[in-house]
Amino acid sequence: VIYPPHSKLTDKEKTNICYLSFPDSNSGCLGDTQFCFRFRRSPGRKVSLCCFLDQLDRDLPVYLKKDSAYYYGYVYFRQVRDKSLKRGYFQKSLVLISKLPYVHLFRTMLKQIAPEYFEKSEAFLEAVCRDIDRWPPPVPGKVLQLPLMGLIMKLRIPTYRDKPGTTPIVQNMHQADAQISMALPTVHEVDLFRCFCPVFFHIQMLWELVLLGEPLVVMAPSPAESSETVLALVSCISPLKYCSDFRPYFTIHDSEFKEYTTRTQAPPSVILGVTNPFFAKTLQHWPHIIRIGDIKFPGEVPKQVKVKKLKNLKTLDSKPGVYTSYKPYLNKDEEIVKQLQKGVQQKRPTEAQSVILRRYFLELTESFIIPLERYVASLMPLQKCISPWKSPPQLRQFSQDDFMKTLEKAGPQLTSGLKGDWIGLYRHFLKSPNFDGWFRSRQKEMTQKLEALHLEALCNENLVFWSQKHTEVETVDLVLKLKNKLLQADREHLPVKTDTLKKLQTHINDIILALPDDLQDILLKTGT
């Protein structure tokens, strides 16, 4: 069943969704299980051009921007004994498909509606959708109130302006009417500490592997554990965006199965979460494998564990741990391990442990990225090089050697006490998809900034005076160029003040009015 009935999915997408919506038979998930998956959209699908989500996307932090090539599936699966059914079990999944990576929001939502849906069937979904139709647009930075079957969920979607590592608290208001309200502390975060607890001693090495876009497999007993762990890995380099593919739950039926498990080429830069024992065989040539046992609530922290050799990973009943021959570039930070161990002994709640871990990852990532930010900012031409009568100047080229030279005086040692081969880590990172994605978005931002400064320079000129000194042909050419500039500012959402755009429009109108009537008619009619 698909709801709303007019939703269009290709056959390939439907097949992928069906296989990903159920745990592998060996997972033995009795009762209710929640997990999430991510799958590729079929090529050739029409992408709605000016979708309003794209406008909202601008204000999101990089790691929450949607990726138009993928969908997320959020699953609520129920398996209970039922003698009246032929197979002896009731097995059903309710799956919500979205482009948005708001794991915690959709998880909470399914928890509210799935149990009732299993009792009441489709009419109930119709009522749910009527509520969802009343939701406001997902505007970042605003406190949103989402009605859902007599409940009001309150939440705030982060914006790129938020200081990394801070989450403005959404207060739970007492409502006068009968509706119960529920404040969500986050829309997208997973319980970091619970996910990393089984591989507790290797968090820093895992951070390096994710940062460098290395191929990683998470082998877990169920899709709930595999998907949480993959999402935790991807988020550990935030505020950097993880730019390669990641699959919180991946099965042998997946349409990319052959592409990702082939031995004819090196494993691709992806993070896969798997539960089928078959993968222990098909992926044993992968360089880094994380084995997770059942994630229990961390009452005890694992004893000090060595990284295991890959050749020991023959069967799926190998012990939990990290199997790799990777040598980390940075020395181990013993402080964070002690801090979290102490938390476990003192029975500190896992939310508090997750906050400590998230801050640790954030500081590590920021120490790593600040020298790159500083160097890339120096590639921006000086403002005095911007002339209204020439095209905007180009950014200077990124030079690996020049960047490495800046590290001596302005490297990560300014903000991090960690010793180790930082230079080696940077060299490796500069070859990774994460660097490529990060640098491209920086380049785009800076190019747009140059375009915006160029527009401002044009606005500050006396353009009518200029046009009186030049021929009609040159003046018409200027008008057309200025009109194009305005269109570009609108289309690319350039960071320009509205006043600047109004001023430019006034300039255009003044120049046109100073021209002969026949030209005025033509220029006022043409949009471009």
Conformation bin of residue 88: beta by default, left when phi > 0, alpha when psi is -120 to 50: left
What CATH number corresponds to the domain at position 249? Answer: 3.40.50
Could you tell me if residue 189 is inside a domain? no
Averaged over 32-44, what is the pLDDT?
90
pLDDT tens digits, 338-366? 999 899 889 889 889 999 999 999 999 99
Structure tokens at 352: 């508090």
Strands 270-274, 216-219: pairing is: parallel
Q: Report how far residue 134's alpha carbon sits from residue 431's, in angstroms, rounded to the nearest whole number.
A: 46
Looking at the structure, tell me whether residues 426 and 467 fall in a common domain.
no
Find the mean pLDDT for residues 27-40: 88
Whether 390 shows a pLDDT value over 60: the answer reads yes
**pLDDT > 90: percent of the chain:** 42
Same domain, 86 and 213: no
The reply to whether 275 and 297 lie within a common domain is: yes
Residue 449: inside a domain = no
Q: How far is residue 331's CA from residue 117's CA, in Å, rounded to a whole number?
A: 51
Mean pLDDT, rounded, for 219-244: 94
- Given a cut of 90, whether residue 498 has pLDDT beyond it is no
Does residue 455 form part of some domain?
A: no
Q: 137: which 2 tokens?
A: 């647009």
Mean pLDDT confidence for 414-429 = 91
Q: With bands split at pLDDT 50, 70 and 90, how would you rate the model's confidence at 47?
A: low
**Pick from 201, 185, 472: nearest CA to 352:** 185
Q: Do the strands 151-156 and 180-183 form a parallel or antiparallel pair, or are they unpaired?
A: parallel
pLDDT at 404: 93
Query: What's the pLDDT at 16?
Result: 93
Which of 301, 322, 356 marks a domain boundary? 356
Task: Give yes or no for a cis peptide into 239 (omega within 30° of 0).
Answer: yes
pLDDT at 17 over 50: yes
Least confident of 50-59, 86-95, 116-125: 50-59
- pLDDT band at 281; cut points 50, 70, 90: confident
Inter-helix orientation angle 498-513/433-459, to 10°: 50
Q: Residues 335, 365: one domain?
A: no
* Residue where a domain stops, chosen among 333, 356, 379: 356
The token pair that represents 503 in the structure block: 């001023």
Whether 445 is covered by a domain: the verdict is: no
Helices within 45-155 (DSSP H only): 52-57, 103-120, 122-132
Sequence-ordered alpha helix ranges (H) in 246-319: 257-261, 278-282
213 class by beta-carbon count within 10 Å (0-12 exposed, 13-18 middle, 19+ buried)? buried
Token pair belonging to 456: 């401002």
* Same structural domain, 293 and 412: no
Question: Both 246 and 123 in a single domain?
Answer: no
Same domain, 216 and 312: yes
Task: State the pLDDT at residue 313.
Answer: 58
pLDDT at 174: 53
Give first-to-last CA distance, the chain, whole Å. 48
Beta-bridge partners for 180: 151
Q: Is residue 66 part of a domain?
A: yes
Helix or strand holding residue 357 (H, E) = helix 350-377
d(CA 343, CA 353): 7
- pLDDT of res. 170: 62
The three-state secondary structure class of 394 is coil
**Average pLDDT value for residue range 468-483:** 84
CA dihedral 172, 174, 178, 181 (to 10 degrees): 0
Residue 117 in any domain: the answer is: yes
Question: What sign does the dihedral 152-100-227-8 (CA atoms) show?
Answer: positive
**Domain extent for 394:** 359-433
The closest of 183, 178, 35, 53 to 110, measured between CA atoms, is 35
Q: Do 68 and 57 belong to one domain?
A: yes
Smallest CA-to-CA distance from 197 within 76, 363, 343 is with 343
Are 378 and 487 members of one domain? no
Count Cα atoms within 13 angstroms, Cβ side, for 165.
13
Give yes or no for a contact between 398 and 373, defined as CB atoms under 8 angstroms apart: no
Rounded CA separation 512/523 (Å) = 7
Structure tokens at 453: 């400064």
Of 341, 295, 325, 280, nearest to 198 by C-alpha is: 295
The pair of structure tokens assigned to 330 is 């940075």
- What does the pLDDT read at residue 329? 95
How large is the average pLDDT for residues 273-290?
A: 88
Say how many residues make up the chain.
Answer: 528
E-state strands within 184-236? 216-219
Question: Tell me, what's the pLDDT at 133?
Answer: 93
Distance (Å, whole) CA 340 – CA 194:
12
Tokens 């109004």 found at = 502
Each residue of 131-159: pLDDT tens digit?
999 999 999 999 999 999 989 999 999 99
pLDDT in tens, 250-267: 999 988 898 898 888 889
Kindly report which listed range (137-146, 471-480, 517-526) carries the lowest average pLDDT score.
517-526
If pLDDT is split at 50, 70 and 90, which confidence band does 77 have? very high
| Beta strand segments in 256-351, E | 270-274, 288-291, 321-324
**Could you tell me which residue, 272 or 294, shows the higher pLDDT?**
272
What is the pLDDT confidence band of residue 298, given thresholds at 50, 70 and 90? very low
User: pLDDT band at 514, cuts 50/70/90?
Assistant: confident
- Do residue 417 and residue 468 come from a single domain? no
> Would 190 be classed as within a structural domain?
no
* pLDDT for residue 48: 54
- Omega of the bond prior to 4 within 30 degrees of 0, cis? yes
pLDDT of the residue at 55: 72
Q: Which residues contact 140 (CB under 8 A, 6 or more apart)?
A: 56, 59, 60, 157, 158, 159, 160
Same domain membership, residue 281 and residue 405: no
Count of domains forming the chain: 4
| Alpha-carbon gap, residue 94 to 424, rounded angstroms | 47
pLDDT of residue 358: 93
- For the chain, the average pLDDT equals 86
Burial class (CB in 10 A: 0-12, 13-18, 19+), 221: buried
**pTM of the predicted protein model:** 0.89
Cα 244 to Cα 257: distance, rounded to the nearest angstrom: 16
Rg (C-alpha) for the chain, rounded Å, is 27
Q: Which residues contact 25 (CB under 8 A, 6 or more apart)?
A: none
Q: Are residues 104 and 201 both part of a single domain? A: no
User: End of a domain among 158, 184, 210?
Assistant: 184
Residue 501 is assigned to a structural domain of this protein:
yes
Mean pLDDT of 112-139: 91
